[in-house]
Chains A and B, each alone.
Chain A
Amino acid sequence: MQPIVSIKNLSKTYQSGHKALNNINLDIFKGEIIALLGPNGAGKTTLISTICGIVTPSSGSITVDGYDTVKQYRQTRAIIGLVPQELTLGAFDAVANTIAFSRGLHGKPADPAYIDKLLTDLSLLDKRDSMLMTLSGGMKRRVLIGKALAHRPTVLFLDEPTAGVDVELRKDMWNLVRELRDSGVTIILTTHYIEEAESIADRVGVINNGELLLVEDKSTLMNKLGSKQLTIELRESISGIPETLTKYELELSEDGTTLLYHYDTRQSRTGITSLMKDINAAGLVLKDLHTKQSSLEDIFVNLLQAES
């Protein structure tokens, strides 16, 4: 299958000398949702900005729908929509006007009916003539999405779409992204929330220090990310793990008061219920319990170690 976005040996070094992207190679296919995961400063925004034309690549090439993003920018930018990370909006424009502005910039004639439809889909119709500065943060975020969709792009970039967005709006946004995907739009989003990638992406790429460490199907990656740790604190210390509990492969802390149990939330049985029963049967008294999910940082460390 011909990729809709094809990135080859892309590197970007800023004038300051900061190397933001280091030899990125990535193919993105039509109609998929790909999430780029990475900590702050990993190079996610630089990667998106380079594809959209805001940042000039230092070396390497990018094609969108077969066109080169530097030499044939008119063709590539006409089909790209971008929702930036920051709430960058003018203050004194009306909502409908600013969306119409974005549409015109992309070389499309005015289409008030389509803009009203967009506003309806984004629950902004009652704000169509409101000044941008009077809107709440969540509304501004939706206006930015409306601006990005104003020219009916077929490739949509969402840079941290749910940063600082409340839970309800986040769900709405995920639904919107899925609907767009179903209508044939290819979506590239960046995030540093694992659950966001988990919830909507088809594929996940992990970026750190300007390098694309891996790109995998979500299900494959999530299995790697899915391990959790249950910490069991005991009222009284024990000298060794009772024989009835050996099948759980528990780890006992040096002072004998804490047991560690590793399990996978994606498995049909986590083994927690039977572990609890067996602990009870073994006569151990619990003081406290807590669980910890492997963090993104842990995964980066693992990935980096695997790299070296």
Chain B
Amino acid sequence: MNWYAIGVIYKQEMLRTWNTMLQSIASPVISTCLYFVVFGAAIGSRIETVGSVSYGSFIVPGLIMLSLLTQSISNASFGIYFPKFTGTIYEILSAPISFLEVVLGYVGAAATKSLIIGAIILATAGFFVELNIAHPFWMLAFLILTCITFSLFGFIIGIWADSFEKLQLIPLLVITPLVFLGGSFYSVDMLPPFWQKVTLFNPVLYLISGFRWSFFDVADVSVGISLAMIVLFLTLCIAIVWWMFKTGYKLRQ
């Protein structure tokens, strides 16, 4: 195992985060505050509670997931796309490192950054609403699994994309709608029966539901299914990344 290589890739990626601190850290904090003002205070004041949970608290897990998913994908995809774009990828390809080491470096850094952002949003939310976390261990487990899974997914997009437009395509057209329609801001019970069924096909629903369960002990779907779904997606991403490196897909001619 080339630990030095993993170390320098990780360090370089984290350094990029610190260099763009304002954009990396401040923007998720600001957008979270905006969501709290709009959904929590303005709209939430008319909803009051979902089940036994106040609406302000209810949206916290969804908000964190929204940021985690988009941040993980954009970080990891940009991290590997940029060297492809500038041509510096030659160094990675000609270095004595395996695909596992490349993934550990890039995806590890992207997931770390998302985790930091998740923690910051959680802390920010603490200023607006009262938060009691029912299952802290599972909360952390969901958080870490989601960061890793979606960073891997972002990594796949970064390798697949051959233009900045494609880099934005999946997050914009697929992820954002799925997160918004996955029960970030509402419980599935609030939907008409037909749409409740449709929503069950949205993988993000399971993520948010499981994560929300770890906070409030209430969930739209069973926690076991939530966990199975995220592990399934994680396995799928690992398999795709492995295949990409094995075949040199869009990396090595």
A binding-site residues for B, Cβ under 8 Å:
14-15, 49, 52-56, 73-78, 80, 82, 84, 86, 88-93, 97, 100-109, 147
Contacts and interface: CB of A to CB of B under 8 A. Distances in A.
B88 interface: yes
Contact of B86 (A89, A102, A106, A107): A89
| B interface secondary structure, majority | helix
A80 B94 CA distance: 8
B56 to A, nearest CB: 39
A55 B87 contact: no
Interface in B44-102: 82-83, 86-88, 90-97
A86 B86 CA distance: 10
Interface of B: 2, 4-5, 7-9, 12, 15-16, 19, 82-83, 86-88, 90-97, 248, 252-253
Contact of B252 (A55, A77, A103): A55
Highest count of chain B CB atoms <10 Å: which of A49, A104, A147: A104
B94 A54 contact: yes
A88 B95 contact: no
B12 A93 contact: yes
Contacts of A80: 94
B9 A105 contact: yes
B253 A107 contact: no
B19 A55 contact: no
- A-B CB proximity, top 10 nearest: A104-B8, A88-B87, A77-B96, A105-B95, A52-B94, A74-B96, A104-B4, A78-B96, A107-B2, A54-B93
Given A77-B95, A104-B8, A56 B86 contact: no
A106 B252 contact: no
Contacts of B253: 14-15, 54-56
A104 B5 contact: yes
A55 B252 CA distance: 6
A157 to B, nearest CB: 9
Given A56-B252, A56-B253, A107-B2, A92 B94 contact: no
A86 B93 CA distance: 16
Contact of A73 (B82, B90, B96): B96
A240 B113 CA distance: 85
A40 to B, nearest CB: 18
B93 A100 contact: no
B5 A107 contact: yes
Given A74-B2, A90-B86, A107 B7 contact: no
Contacts of A84: 87, 90
7 contacts: A53-B94, A54-B93, A82-B94, A93-B15, A97-B12, A102-B91, A105-B97
B13 to A, nearest CB: 11
A89 B88 contact: yes
Contacts of B82: 90
Contact of B7 (A14, A49, A53, A104): A104
Contacts of B19: 92
Nearest to B4: A104
A159 B88 CA distance: 15
